[in-house]
Every structure is written in C-alpha cells, then in structure tokens.
C-alpha cells in the first residue's frame, strides 16, 4: 500500500507539468492574431512670416568725447603792458559775450604813438599836395619851352618833377603804414574774441605787467561744441559730412539720460592706431544756451557720450528679426510645398532688434521665425503666421 502511494506521488508532478504544456500550446495556437496600425505622422508646427522688400533707414551706434570746437583758445596779448581791467566773467566757467573786452592793457603809450604817427602822416600828405602844385607850375613852364627845345624822356620827366612826386608819395605811404600799425597796436590793448566764449582757465590779474605773447587764459567757443566719435571702419562709408552744398548726417547725442542734436562736420581720414576705429566730428550748436532754455543740463567738455548716427537708407532689402538668422548667415524657410528648407542670406546691416538682409529665396518662400529643433531640411511642416512683427532674443 505504501509503495503504491509513493508511486502515485512521484507521477503527479509530471502529469501536472505535461498538462500545463498542453494547455499553453493550445492557447498560443488558437489566440486571435493582432494587426498593428502604423503610427500616424504629425508634422511639426512652425511660425512664419512673409518677406517683402522695402527701404529701411539705418543708424550707427558710436561713443566719443565732448570737446571745444576747433580747439581750446589760448588767450595771449599781442602787445605788452600793465593790465588795468578784466571782464567780470573772466573766471573758470564764466561766459563772455562776443566782442566784449576780456583783458584791457594800459593804452597811454599806444595812444601817444598813434598821435605821433597821425602827425607824420599829415605832414607827408601835405608834402604830396605841395609837390602836386609845384608839378603843375613846372608843366606850364615846360609847355612854353617845349617848342624851342628838344628833350629826351628822362629830361622831360625831371622838368615835370615826376620823380619828386613819386618820392613824396612813397613817404606818404610809409607814414600811412606807420599810422595803421599804431592804430592796430592801440586796438590790441583790448583782448576780444569774435564769438561767445566759455572760460576754462585764467592766469592773469589786474596790475600785472604782461609781455607780448604771455598766456593769460584758456577759453572755448560757447556757441558750439565738437564731439569726436569712434566709428567702426566698416560703417565709415555710409556717413557723410557737411559741405558748402549739403548738410551733414544728423546725430543724436546721449549724455546722462538727455539727448542733444548734432551734425557731422568732418570724417577723419586716418584710423586710431590702438583701436583701428574711424572718427566722425559732430558739431552741437548752442550746447549751453539751448540746454538752459529746455531745462536740460549743459554738455560738459570732456564728457563721455553715446551717439546714434544717421547712416542713410538700404533699399530693396528685407528686414527680419535678429533671432531668425541662423549661424553662418542662413535662414529657415517653408517652401511652396510646405517643406522646411535652408536658404543663404547676405547681411547688409544689423540693428538692435532686426537685421537687414538680401536672402537667396525661391518663389513663395516664407521665413520661419520660431525655434526649430530636430527637423531636417525637406521635412513637411505645418505653419501659422506670427502676429507680432519682431521678437527679441539672440539668433537661433
């Protein structure tokens, strides 16, 4: 009995395993076949904009320093003497109107010299007048003798007192020159400038005895300043300066949050050796008076400023967002078959938010302005137009 139970216990696992194999095989062979559907392709969505040609005003950004127009004026007397008067505004920061005496030198000696020269001139003029009278008498006497005697040209000139008159006229000219020099020296005892002047430095005082050429101060024109801007060499060709027939390019100067208008009056013909930058000279008129009228602070000589220069217009080109331009100056576009393509472009001008280009487009190309990742050229895409004109941001 025990042997029979052990035999049954040994066979049972084998029977169960065989039954499991039979059932599994039946399930596999009789299971319905499943049919996989291919995955549906969804074209990526890109944002586009149409490209239209136009004319675009372009500008150049630059930086520079404010300085006096032409250069600082070194005030030096042309005659020597004692200083007897100084303009009350002759101090650093003072304003002196055009034509008003800045420094006055004692004029007594120069007045005496002028009176002496005037007397000598009067005497010389009288001598010429007397000689002309003598010449008239000589001419009448010569006419009486001319029929009886023959004269050569030299003798005739002597008889008519022509050399004598030339001598007195030469002496009169010398006396006139001496008078003019004395009058000029007297006028130079008052130092003036023909334009409104801004005082930068002073170095003279009342009672001081000056020699001719002594430095008495430094001034600058108050009616105009010059701003020398450093400009990239590649932009110099688009700038034009003032000539007798046309105005120069307009410039907006920015300093301490305020704007001042200027005009290019000169373009340097040499590059700065250290930076290899070109130079533009911008003239700002009435930098002190106009600022006071508008409540803006005055431009200060030596100030560092930023500027925007008018560089004319670019015609027949396309303006695109900066981020739409890829590296190596390429564009993503959607062609007539709604496929993504890459086109080359020539950059004509770069501005803060946009770029002016000449792209190598084909018919009905539309530019992609959204980011594109993982999409190969020739891929079918869906499109939608972007409403805003430009997007800020770096290139894609």
169-178, 186-195, 360-369 — which is least confidently predicted? 360-369
Task: Clarify whether residues 304 and 338 are in a common domain.
Answer: no
Whether residues 226 and 288 fall in one domain: yes
Indicate the pLDDT class of residue 391, thresholds 50, 70 and 90.
Answer: very low
What pLDDT is attached to residue 148?
Answer: 60
Verify that 116 and 146 share a domain, yes or no: yes
| Contact present, 154 and 65 (Cβ < 8 Å) | no
Does residue 229 sit in the same domain as residue 308? Answer: yes
Q: If pLDDT is split at 50, 70 and 90, which confidence band does 394 have? A: very low
The tally of CA atoms less than 13 A away on the side-chain side of residue 260 is 30
Q: Is residue 260 part of a domain?
A: yes
- Residue 232 domain-assigned (yes or no): yes
Q: Are 95 and 260 in contact (CB under 8 A)?
A: no
Question: What is the distance between the alpha carbons of residues 117 and 181, in angstroms, rounded to a whole number?
Answer: 9
Q: What is the pLDDT of residues 241-273, one digit of tens each?
A: 998 888 999 999 999 888 999 999 999 988 887
Q: Does residue 134 lie in a domain region?
A: yes
Please report whether residue 306 resides in a domain: yes
Domain count within the chain = 3
Query: Angle, nearest 10°, between helix axes 162-187 and 108-145?
Result: 170
Query: Beta 382-385 vs 45-49: how paired, if at all?
Result: parallel
Is 74 within the bounds of a domain?
no
**Domain at 363, CATH number:** 2.40.420.20
Stretch 225-252: mean pLDDT, rounded? 92
pLDDT single digits (tens) 290-315: 555 667 788 889 999 999 999 998 88
What pTM, to 2 d.p., does this model score? Answer: 0.68
- 211 φ/ψ angles, rounded to the nearest 5 degrees: -95, 160
**Between residues 15 and 44, the one the model is more confident about:** 44
Burial class of residue 105 in the structure, from the number of CB atoms within 10 Å of its CB (0-12 exposed, 13-18 middle, 19+ buried): buried
Look up residue 94 and give its two tokens.
Answer: 């003072």
Residue 359's pLDDT is what?
A: 83
Residues 231 and 308 in one domain: yes
pLDDT at residue 261, rounded to an integer? 93
Q: Which tokens is 124 given?
A: 């010389």
- 327 and 309 together in one domain: no
Distance in angstroms (rounded) separating the CA atoms of residues 170 and 139: 21
Q: Identify the residue with better confidence: 197 or 373.
A: 197
pLDDT (average), residues 96-122: 96
User: 3-class SS at 52?
Assistant: coil
Evaluate whether residue 122 is within a structural domain. yes
Q: Which of 278, 313, 348 is the last residue of a domain?
A: 313
Domain-terminating residue out of 266, 284, 313? 313
* Structure tokens, 215: 């430095």
**Given pLDDT bands bounded at 50, 70 and 90, which one contains residue 390?**
low
Residue 300 has φ and ψ, to the nearest 5°, of -110, 135
What is the C-alpha R_g of the chain?
48
More confident position, 320 or 219: 219
The answer to the question of residue 100 being in a domain is no
Does 291 lie in the same domain as 243? yes
pLDDT of 2 above 60: no
- For residues 306 and 247, membership in a common domain is answered with yes
Alpha-carbon separation of residue 79 from 146, 182, 185, 214 (angstroms): 57, 11, 7, 9
Structure tokens at 248: 């120069």
- pLDDT value, residue 75: 95
Please list the residues that pair with 66 across neighbouring strands.
227
DSSP line for 129-144: HHHHHHHHHHHHHHHH
Note whether 334 and 319 are same-domain residues: yes
**Residue 163: what pLDDT?**
81
pLDDT of residue 393: 42
Same domain, 306 and 319: no
- Pair 353, 392: CB distance under 8 Å: yes
Average pLDDT, the chain: 85
Residue 355 lies in a domain: yes
Q: What is the dihedral of CA 63, 69, 74, 75, to 10 degrees?
A: -140
What range does the domain containing 166 cover?
Answer: 107-188
The per-residue pLDDT for 364 is 84
**CA 193 to CA 179: how far, in whole Å?**
24
Residue 301 belongs to domain with CATH number? 2.40.30.170
Model confidence at 336: pLDDT above 70: yes
Of 187, 137, 162, 117, give the one whose Cα is nearest residue 125.
117
pLDDT for 333 beyond 80: yes
Same domain, 139 and 64: no
**In this structure, are residues 44 and 380 in contact, taking their beta carbons and an 8 Å threshold?**
no
Contact between 308 and 235 under an 8 Å Cβ cutoff? The reply is no
- Give me the pLDDT at residue 27, please: 59
Mean pLDDT over 364-372 rounds to 87
pLDDT reported for residue 91:
95
Q: Of the residues 188, 210, 235, which one is the last residue of a structural domain?
A: 188
Residues 318, 285: one domain? no
Going by pLDDT thresholds of 50, 70 and 90, the confidence category of residue 192 is: very high
Q: Give SS3 for 153.
A: helix
- Does residue 392 carry a pLDDT above 60? no
Among 140-154, 243-257, 344-358, which stretch is predicted with the lowest mean pLDDT? 140-154
């Amino acid at each position: 009995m025990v042997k029979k139970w052990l035999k049954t216990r040994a066979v049972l696992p084998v029977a169960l395993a065989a039954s499991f194999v039979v059932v599994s095989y039946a399930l596999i062979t009789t299971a319905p076949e499943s049919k996989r559907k291919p995955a549906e392709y969804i074209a990526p969505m890109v944002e586009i904009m149409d490209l239209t040609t136009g004319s675009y005003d372009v500008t150049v950004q630059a930086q520079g320093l404010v300085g006096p127009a032409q250069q600082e004026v070194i005030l030096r007397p042309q005659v020597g003497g004692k200083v007897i008067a100084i303009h009350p505004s002759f101090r650093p920061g003072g304003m002196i109107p055009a034509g008003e005496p800045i420094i006055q030198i004692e004029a007594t000696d120069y007045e005496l010299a002028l009176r002496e020269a005037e007397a000598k001139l009067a005497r010389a003029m009288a001598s010429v007048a007397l000689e002309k009278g003598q010449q008239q008498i000589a001419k009448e006497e010569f006419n009486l003798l001319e029929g009886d005697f023959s004269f050569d040209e030299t003798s005739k000139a002597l008889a008519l007192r022509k050399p004598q008159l030339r001598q007195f006229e030469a002496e009169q000219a010398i006396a006139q020159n001496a008078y003019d020099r004395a009058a000029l020296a007297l006028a130079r005892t008052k130092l003036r400038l023909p334009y409104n002047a801004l005082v930068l430095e002073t170095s003279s005082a009342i009672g001081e005895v000056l020699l001719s050429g002594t430095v008495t101060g430094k001034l600058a024109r108050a009616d105009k300043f010059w701003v020398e801007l450093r400009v990239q060499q590649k932009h110099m060709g688009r700038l034009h300066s003032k000539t007798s027939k046309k105005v120069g390019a307009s410039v907006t100067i920015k300093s301490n949050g305020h704007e001042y208008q200027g005009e290019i009056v000169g373009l340097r013909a040499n590059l700065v050796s250290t930076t290899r930058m070109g130079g533009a000279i911008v003239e700002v008129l009435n930098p002190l008076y106009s600022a006071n009228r508008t409540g803006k602070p005055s431009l200060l000589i030596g100030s560092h400023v930023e500027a925007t220069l008018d560089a004319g217009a670019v015609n027949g080109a396309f303006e695109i967002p900066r981020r739409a331009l890829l590296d190596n100056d390429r564009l993503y576009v959607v062609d007539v078959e709604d496929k993504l393509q890459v086109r080359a472009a020539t950059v004509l001008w770069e501005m803060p938010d946009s770029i002016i280009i000449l792209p190598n487009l084909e018919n009905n190309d539309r530019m992609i302005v959204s980011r594109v990742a993982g999409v190969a050229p020739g891929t079918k895409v869906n499109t939608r137009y972007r409403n805003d004109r430009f997007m800020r941001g770096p290139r894609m």
